[in-house]
Amino acid sequence: MIIAIDGASADLSIALTEPDGTMVAEDAWSSAQRQSTELLPRLLALLARIDRPLHDASLVAIGTGPGSFTGLRVAMALGKGLAVGLEVPIVGVPSLGAWLDAEPDAIGALARAGAREAYLLERGDEEPRIVDRAEVATGSLLVAAVELAAAFDLTAARRPRGAIAIARRAAERIEVDAAGDDLPTLEPIYLRAPRGVAVESGERVRWL
């Protein structure tokens, strides 16, 4: 069983799938400030609902962002803790790409990057970029968290449900590389330093 977690936005999701990525169960909800208190209880409740024990897990798949600093750190910490405790591999999957996988009609995926900025991954692009609110086509079909859709007046936005697509991407990865990612060095995709840090490092921002 794969345990998949996405905490890149206030629209959180978790999924349980078979090793090939076939969905077993899923939960998705909005929570602006309570990721640290909700993710694990929701996961345990989902396992109880399908009567599967935690130790059935063979892989942990985690959304790596970019997006919410707090959400990414909390989800990554939980994912790493599960991988260590269960002695299973972990695979990190970029969240915005997974959001697009889950919404094949969407032209792009957006995660909040600041008061007037967002991380945008347009379909067909390799990497997300930081855009100003004025650069976002508000009437286009986009995947965006509920608070970002409201702030940017995105009239055709769909909420992300990334966990199931993260699980499927991880299932494909683990077929090629059974070891998964290196747990100590796996980290979220931040793209920028958090608020209050005036000078960005020349290296990647590291928190874990």
pLDDT single digits (tens) 5-16: 999 999 999 999
Amino acid 207: pLDDT: 45
Say yes or no to pLDDT of 74 above 70: yes
**What number of helices (H) and strands (E) belong to the chain?**
5, 10
* Residue 124 sits in the same domain as residue 51: no
Amino acid 192: pLDDT: 75
Tokens of 28: 């998705």
Tokens of 198: 């005036």
Least confident piece of the model among 19-28, 88-97, 194-203: 194-203
Say yes or no to pLDDT of 200 above 80: no
Least confident piece of the model among 46-55, 117-126, 197-206: 197-206
Q: Name the helix (H) or strand (E) containing 30.
A: strand 23-30
Amino acid 98: pLDDT: 97
Amino acid 208: pLDDT: 45
Amino acid 83: pLDDT: 98
Q: Looking at residues 22-28, what average pLDDT do you find?
A: 97
Q: Looking at residues 121-145, what average pLDDT do you find?
A: 92
Amino acid 193: pLDDT: 65
* Residue 86 sits in the same domain as residue 104: no
Sheet containing 23-30: order of strands:
23-30, 11-17, 2-6, 59-63, 90-93
* Residue 148 sits in the same domain as residue 168: no
Beta strands in 105-204 (DSSP E): 108-112, 117-122, 129-132, 142-144, 157-158
Amino acid 175: pLDDT: 95
* Residue 78 sits in the same domain as residue 23: yes
* Residue 147 sits in the same domain as residue 165: no
What CATH number does residue 32 fall under?
Answer: 3.30.420.40
Which residue carries 């077993």 as its tokens? 24
Say yes or no to pLDDT of 99 above 90: yes
Domain that holds residue 113: 98-158
